[in-house]
Amino acid sequence: MILVVLQGYYIYNSYRLEEKELIRQARAIADKTLDTMEKYETETNEEKLVGDFQRLKTGITIQKEKITQPERIYSSEKIYNEKLEKILKKNIGDSGFEIGMKSEIYSILDEVQKKELLPTNRSLVLYQTVKKMSKPLTINEGKWSSRQSRQNTDLKLDEKNYYLVKSKSTFQLLNVKILVLKKIIPLIIISLLIVILIVYLFRNSIKNLNRQEKKISQLHTTIDSIAHELNTPITTLKFSVAQTSDSETKAFLERQIKRLENIVSSIHNNDSDGILIDEKEMGNYFSEVKKSFDKIDFKIKIDFTVNKSLFQNDFRQIMDNLIDNSSKYGAKEIEVVIKMNKLIEIEVSDNGIGIPKEEKENIFDKYYRISRVENLHVNGLGVGLFLVKKIVDKYKGDIDVNPKKKGVSFKITIPNEA
Ligand code: ADP
């Protein structure tokens, strides 16, 4: 939509510019024509013209006749018209312009009688083209006085003819619309093509995007069902291992089965166990963690007043994933701050390789792993943070990631109400 409006605006502007330019050129032609026409404005002609004013004057005042067509009064008009057409044609040349022109007297003030000789909205045409104008533009305007006195002593006449005459010349480029259109048609076609191309590309990208999304969701379903299908062989294996008598093989197989189970359960979130985590259980949990990650320096701060909502296995799963990640991604130090008051706040900060700001939105997507060199040798399915987010969402809580100078900090907030 915006694109169409912008293109429209652009074409409109080009139209106006082109129109302005063509009118400027037409004005120059009209101007030149007018210059040539001025050569015919000789003194004899002017006298003739003033004589016509006289006829106009007497016509109106003495015979009391209403003059309806004063433009007809000026008898020389016809010859001038022909001259105008000829000069104009020569000046236009092969530019394709159709120009209308007119030179007229639009006011004749009889200064003796203080009276306008021309009826309102009527003018005395000096010359004009055959093609008439609908919206004339002024080329120039002029004002001049004619003063003649005649004395006739026999008749005791003292005649004075003083006139103040106002005239103007106008022109119009009659075929301006067609000329402009001819010039900007290629532009319109190109603009249309651009719009069509962009709409086509846009539709194609949307289609591709949908196709990709469908493929990704199919892939997710497949991985989920593989994990689900693995449950049965794991159970059978567990049962068979229990029967094995060789204790060394048994221990080895049990470790491998445990690994398999962990992978499968990381894809499928376990249901809540219905037991709320308390301060003692938290303490137990962290001493286990410290033993498992003996190379990491833990700083644990717990401010426990009450827990009305967070279940034990959800707490474990959140902590397991966050601590496991910190350890996988280079942390030497992990700080855990837990507050269980009006709100449940859990903050896990580390000093590992950190998370780039632009990845903040992606890391909670299922199977998403940041692709970077540091990750190449770190195992993972990209489901850890997805599960953490899912659990937090279940409690209508929030999870916030804050990249630090060195490392990253995750802050979870959960309402503490039953
Ligand atoms: P993975 O199995 O890849 O660890 P997760 O969902 O747990 O999957 O994490 C998603 C991505 O976020 C990881 O691939 C990793 O690049 C990044 N990440 C998560 N936790 C941390 C962390 N503590 N430090 C640095 N990067 C992390």
Ligand 1 contact via 352 beta carbon (within 6 Å):
yes
Ligand 1 contact via 363 beta carbon (within 6 Å):
yes
Ligand 1 contact via 384 beta carbon (within 6 Å):
yes
Ligand 1 contact via 399 beta carbon (within 6 Å):
no
User: Which atom of ligand 1 lies at the shortest distance from residue 410's CA?
Assistant: 23
pLDDT of residue 246: 86
pLDDT by residue (tens digit) across 276-300? Answer: 999 999 999 999 999 999 999 999 9
CA 85 centroid distance within chain: 51
Ligand 1 contact via 296 beta carbon (within 6 Å):
no
Q: What phi, psi does 133 have (nearest 5°)?
A: -105, 145
Ligand 1 contact via 409 beta carbon (within 6 Å):
no
The secondary structure of 223-278 as a DSSP string is HHHHHHHHHHHHHHHHHHHHH---HHHHHHHHHHHHHHHHHHHHHSPPPP-S-B--
Ramachandran category for residue 293: left, alpha or beta (phi over 0 → left; psi -120 to 50 → alpha): beta
Residue nearest to atom 20 of ligand 1 (CA): 325
pLDDT by residue (tens digit) across 194-249? Answer: 989 999 999 999 999 999 999 999 998 898 888 888 988 999 999 999 888 888 88
Pocket test for ligand 1, best of 293, 329, 348 (most atoms within 8 A of CB): 329
Pocket test for ligand 1, best of 351, 357, 368, 385 (most atoms within 8 A of CB): 385
Structure tokens at 41: 């404005």
Is pLDDT larger for residue 262 or for residue 82? 82
Work out the burial of residue 269: count CB atoms within 10 Å of its CB; fewer than 13 is exposed, 13-18 middle, 19 or more buried. Answer: middle
The answer to whether 326 touches 388, Cβ cutoff 8 Å, is no
Residue nearest to atom 19 of ligand 1 (CA): 325
The Cα–Cα gap between 75 and 89 comes to 23
CA of 386 to the centre of ligand 1 (A): 10
The answer to whether 407 touches 337, Cβ cutoff 8 Å, is no
HSE-CB at 418 with a 13 A cutoff on CA atoms is: 5
Ligand 1 contact via 403 beta carbon (within 6 Å):
no
On the question of pLDDT at 61 being above 50, the answer is: no
CA of 387 to the centre of ligand 1 (A): 12
CA of 325 to the centre of ligand 1 (A): 6
pLDDT by residue (tens digit) across 130-170? Answer: 999 999 999 999 998 888 776 656 655 566 778 899 999 99
Please give the average per-residue pLDDT across 90-107, as a whole number.
Answer: 92
CA of 363 to the centre of ligand 1 (A): 7
Query: Order of strands across the sheet with 408-415?
Result: 297-304, 333-340, 343-350, 408-415, 398-403
pLDDT by residue (tens digit) across 361-400? Answer: 999 998 899 998 888 888 888 989 999 999 999 999 999 9
Work out the burial of residue 348: count CB atoms within 10 Å of its CB; fewer than 13 is exposed, 13-18 middle, 19 or more buried. Answer: buried
Residue nearest to atom 16 of ligand 1 (CA): 370
What residue spans of 38-155 are helical by DSSP H? 43-61, 77-92
**pTM, whole model, 2 decimals?**
0.59
Ligand 1 contact via 327 beta carbon (within 6 Å):
no
Mean pLDDT for the chain overall: 87
Ligand 1 contact via 382 beta carbon (within 6 Å):
yes
Ligand 1 contact via 366 beta carbon (within 6 Å):
no
Q: Which 8-state DSSP code applies to residue 331? A: -
Ligand 1 contact via 330 beta carbon (within 6 Å):
no
Sign of the Cα torsion 22, 25, 31, 33 reads negative
Q: What phi, psi does 201 have (nearest 5°)?
A: -65, -40
CA of 348 to the centre of ligand 1 (A): 13
pLDDT of residue 60: 46
